Amino acid sequence: MFKTLFKRPAILARYREGPLLDAREQFLKQCAMQGYSRSMLHKIAWVLLSLANCIDIDHGNMTAHDIELAVDSRLRFVHSPKCTQNSQGSRQLFIHIATEWVRSLGCLKPPPAVEMPFVNQIAAFARYLREERGLSPITIATRCERLAWFFESLHPHEDALHTVTITDVDAFITAKGNQGWKRSSLSSLASSLRSFFRYAEGQGWCDIGIAAVIQSPRLYTREGLPEGPTWVDVQRLLISTRGDRSVDVRDHAILMLLAVYGFRRGEVAHLKLDDLDWVGERIMVARPKQRRIQCYPLVPAVGEAILRYLREVRPHCAYRALFLALAAPIRPLSASSITAIVRTRLRSIGVDLSHQGAHCLRHACACHLLASGFTLKQIGDHLGHRSANSTLTYTKIDLAGLRQVAQIDLRRLL
């Protein structure tokens, strides 16, 4: 690796004569595989050389404090690059590189675990939801996260569930409402708490009756409107990403999947290279709520966008995820990254919505299908809805259909 980076014999000899040669070279190879530029690899090699005399990997389990001490006592070379100047920013760069290096060697001691209240009860509840209720991992993680928030809010932390009262639950829900949570979110929160305390009552962990009196805000069936950009704005959004920049090519393929198929952000983030059947011209997506794989015909425009991304932009790496970060370190895009891409792109064309995440393109897709004459059953199947009730909300925005209903002469029915 050093022979690839450094051509001058004197410089090459300096790096190869330093301590921990094999460990430094192995880490540089890992960084190169993650897509770091040549100039950044030079900086990393310099940082590793300056720290090699201070890092003690023989005893293993180095703490974050040990790494900071090593950085502060590092060798300072006379002809150092800009990144090694004695500044706070450079110190943080040294700490970051040293931490990743020590972690790659398996010598980084994890920080002490924070004692979470009722962690065993939450873990048992998660097993119950997974093994007996068969809920999806995302639903289980969301409910457990909300429980952790609730138990952390108890002051002082209660040491037994028998001491938790309905007053504590009501205070927590009220506090979240004061923080700006919507009624739908508060209702979901109350449902999560109600589910846990119902399970806890069955286990004998708490007093009987708490679950039955947990109240949530009243929700009305299909009271809200699905908000998304107009199809004209969706077309403008897709046109805005038809550039030759790498980020435009990648984002265009992502936006096409969201708008044409109405995929959820997590479904796009979890797409793998193996999910594309180029011979059969199909794309397969995992539907977590339906717990099955759904197959779609690969629309030519979408296929061309993905194919251009694969040929021209996607980094060469061992990841099987379809969409990757373009800047080092190379890694699969997360669901939150998909949302950030949509939000940034919508703002760039001046579309102002109260919800600018990836889900608004799913709403736009459904509205476009409805306006094109597709039935609710067809739209629900396309979106992967488990229940027809999930699709009924779009009837409220079918203005053409509502006008036809308004024109019916009801006197003929009398």
Catalytic residues: 264, 289, 359, 362, 385, 394
Q: Are 321 and 254 in contact (CB under 8 A)?
A: no
Q: Hey, what long-range contacts does 349-353 have (CB within 8 A, 24 or more apart)?
A: 349/233, 349/236, 349/237, 349/240, 351/229, 351/233, 351/237, 353/227, 353/228, 353/229
* d(C-alpha 114, C-alpha 159), whole Å: 15
CA distance 243 to 222: 39
Question: How far apart, in whole angstroms, are the C-alpha atoms of residue 144 and residue 155?
Answer: 19
Helix, strand, coil in percent for the chain, rounding step 5 = 60, 5, 35
The CA–CA distances, whole Å, from 53 to 57, 71, 76 equal 11, 10, 11
- Read off the DSSP letter of residue 108: B
Rounded to an integer, what distance in angstroms lies between the CA atom of residue 343 and that of residue 352? Answer: 10
Is residue 218 within 8 A of residue 232, CB to CB? The reply is: no
